[in-house]
């Protein structure tokens, strides 16, 4: 018969461990790799559950269970306490498959199933939003945990907390997902009658231009200035579009004054957008601006596992790690890799081996390889991104405006080409080997301590790999 002697001690132990990891700035690691749930206990064993074999295996490898077990011994004061982990998988039919029989009270099961059905029934789909862009399908890691929590806070208190909120970062990192998750949450939690609008900056611009062309600007103004929630995607598109920026400014003022929630996304910090009106930058910066950086290896593995479970498929740990190692900069590419694998599996009627996956994804991963990238391409892309000329990039000016992009170009050149420091020195103003080496180390060190900067370098490298003259 199951007992619950140690349930309280279990929850206390987890709380203590969480605080310890927070102090070491490893809160995100804890959330992912200590995500286990109390089930039952006996006189010397505490049984916990995780929701997949992958998590169980990986947690074991990372020592999560051992850490919890040792802390439990310390809290309870018994050296013979053992931790037992089982896998509990929730299937479509609501049946629960458990690797060990667990005695649970029927009324508890019934209540859980009832609540799940109620949630399922209550879920509504907004015509402008993607059904699967919800908080439950977003996997936060150290790259996006702040953004996730900020988005959730906004969704729960629209117009009252963090207004506006702006997410920025590279393509495919989850900005649009979080933006639409806010809209879906509001819509499904009492906001069915609210005016919620998701629109890209390009569409917003086109609509505004059309309203001027057909001489019905009031129709456009009434549409956007009477919203309860505005979700405006990719506002970097508004660069150099002065008339549209002016219209957005007045729309912003109207919505802000009536406490309507505004959510924006951008591919870079708002202050770095070329030719963006100062007063609009000021307004957009008033709220919460959050950077979403590139997910680390552990987070990429967790994202893959979540997407695999959503598709009700199975892949080996080796394949998951192979994909995570080869896709570093874009979450969309993770899903693209999975789709290709599962498409193949459906055609042949069985899951592919790691060797087959390597062949399948060879073309997909080509852009991540170092293939005939010229120094000229690197210099051109870096110069364009930092709005300086290639001559200035290669020159001897010592202003910060030129030094930082020059060091970045040197770092990336060493990463993506076989060019020596001596050769690089000749291409960057006749500088010596030591100067080139110093520039490389300077960028490498900054990447270690600044995740946002690291993300920026990764995005630049991806752009260089995909560059077409």
Kindly report the average pLDDT of the chain as a whole number: 83
Rounded CA-CA distance 315/305 in Å is 8
Could you tell me the residue range of the domain that residue 60 belongs to? 7-98
Residues 327 and 270 in one domain: no
- Number of other CB atoms surrounding residue 467 within 10 Å: 14
Number of domains in the chain: 4
> What sign for the dihedral angle of Cα 407, 409, 412, 417?
negative
Map tokens 């300077």 to a residue. 442
Residues 43 and 163 in one domain: no
Residues 346 and 382 in one domain: no
Residues 352 and 445 in one domain: no
Position 158 in a domain: yes
- In this structure, the chain runs to a length of 469
Residues 324 and 420 in one domain: no
Residues 324 and 445 in one domain: no
| Residue 92 confidence (pLDDT) above 70 | no
Position 127 in a domain: no
Residue 433 host element (H or E): helix 433-449
Map tokens 């790799």 to a residue. 33
Residues 176 and 239 in one domain: yes
| Residue 98 confidence (pLDDT) above 70 | no
| Residue 295 confidence (pLDDT) above 50 | yes
Position 120 in a domain: no
- Closest of 455, 425, 429 to residue 437, by C-alpha: 425
HSE (CB half, 13 Å, CA atoms) of 182?
38
* pLDDT for res 256: 95
Position 113 in a domain: no
User: Which of 93-102, 116-125, 229-238, 457-466 is least confident?
Assistant: 93-102
Confidence class for position 239, pLDDT limits 50, 70, 90: confident
- Number of other CB atoms surrounding residue 279 within 10 Å: 13
Position 116 in a domain: no
Residues 384 and 452 in one domain: yes
Burial of 222 (0-12, 13-18, 19+ CB in 10 A): exposed
Residues 145 and 286 in one domain: yes
For residue 200, the cross-strand partners are 233
Residue 433: which CATH number? 1.10.1750.10
Confidence class for position 345, pLDDT limits 50, 70, 90: confident
- The distance between the two most distant Cα atoms of the chain, rounded to a whole number of Å, is 80
Position 109 in a domain: no
Tally helices (H) and strands (E) across the chain. 21, 9
Residue 378 in tokens: 């690197």
* pLDDT for res 117: 44
pTM above 0.85, yes or no: no
Residues 91 and 179 in one domain: no
- Closest of 5, 13, 12 to residue 44, by C-alpha: 5
**Domain end among 240, 271, 291:** 291
Instruction: Output Rg (C-alpha) for the chain, integer angstroms.
Output: 26
Q: Could you say which DSSP state residue 3 is in?
A: B
Residues 237 and 331 in one domain: no
pLDDT tens per residue across span 388-420: 999 999 988 888 899 999 999 999 998 887 777
């Amino acid at each position: 018969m199951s007992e619950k002697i140690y349930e309280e001690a279990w929850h206390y132990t987890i709380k203590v461990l969480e605080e310890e990891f927070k102090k070491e700035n490893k809160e995100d690691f804890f959330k992912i790799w200590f995500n286990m749930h109390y089930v039952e206990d006996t006189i010397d064993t505490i049984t916990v559950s995780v929701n997949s074999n992958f998590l169980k295996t990986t947690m074991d490898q990372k020592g999560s269970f051992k850490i919890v077990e040792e802390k439990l011994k310390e809290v309870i004061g018994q050296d013979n306490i053992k931790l037992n982990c089982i896998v509990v998988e929730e299937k479509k039919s609501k049946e629960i498959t458990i690797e060990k029989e667990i005695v649970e009270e029927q009324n508890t099961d019934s209540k859980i199933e009832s609540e799940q059905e109620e949630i399922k029934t209550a879920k509504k789909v907004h015509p402008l939003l993607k059904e699967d862009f919800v908080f439950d399908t977003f996997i936060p890691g150290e790259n996006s945990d702040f953004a996730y929590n900020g988005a959730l806070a906004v969704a729960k208190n629209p117009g009252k907390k963090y207004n506006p909120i702006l997410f920025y970062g590279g393509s495919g990192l989850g900005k649009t997902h979080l933006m639409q998750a806010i809209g879906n949450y509001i819509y499904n939690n009492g906001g069915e009658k609210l005016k919620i609008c998701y629109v890209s900056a390009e569409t917003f611009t086109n609509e505004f231009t059309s309203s001027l062309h057909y001489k019905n600007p009031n129709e456009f103004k009434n549409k956007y200035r009477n919203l309860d929630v505005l979700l405006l995607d990719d506002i970097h598109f508004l660069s150099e579009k002065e008339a549209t920026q002016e219209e957005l400014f007045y729309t912003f003022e109207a919505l802000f004054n009536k406490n309507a929630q505004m959510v924006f996304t951008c591919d870079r910090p708002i202050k770095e957008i070329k030719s963006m009106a100062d007063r609009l930058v000021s307004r957009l910066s008033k709220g919460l601006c959050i950077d979403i950086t590139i997910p680390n290896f552990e987070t990429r593995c967790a994202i893959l596992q979540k997407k695999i479970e959503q598709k009700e498929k199975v892949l080996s740990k080796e394949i998951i790690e192979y994909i995570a190692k080869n896709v570093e900069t874009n979450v969309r590419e993770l899903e693209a890799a999975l789709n290709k694998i599962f498409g193949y599996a459906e055609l042949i009627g069985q899951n592919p081996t790691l060797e087959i996956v390597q062949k399948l994804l060879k073309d997909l991963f080509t852009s991540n390889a170092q293939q005939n990238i010229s120094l000229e391409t690197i210099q051109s892309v870096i110069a364009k991104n930092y709005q300086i000329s290639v001559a200035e990039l290669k020159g001897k000016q010592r202003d910060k405006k030129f030094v930082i992009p020059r060091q970045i170009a040197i770092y990336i050149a060493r990463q993506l080409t076989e060019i020596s420091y001596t050769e690089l020195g000749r291409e960057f103003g006749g500088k010596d080997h030591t100067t080139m080496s110093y520039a490389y180390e300077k960028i490498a060190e900054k990447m270690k301590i600044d995740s946002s900067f690291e993300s920026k370098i990764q995005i630049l490298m991806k752009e260089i790999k995909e560059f077409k003259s």
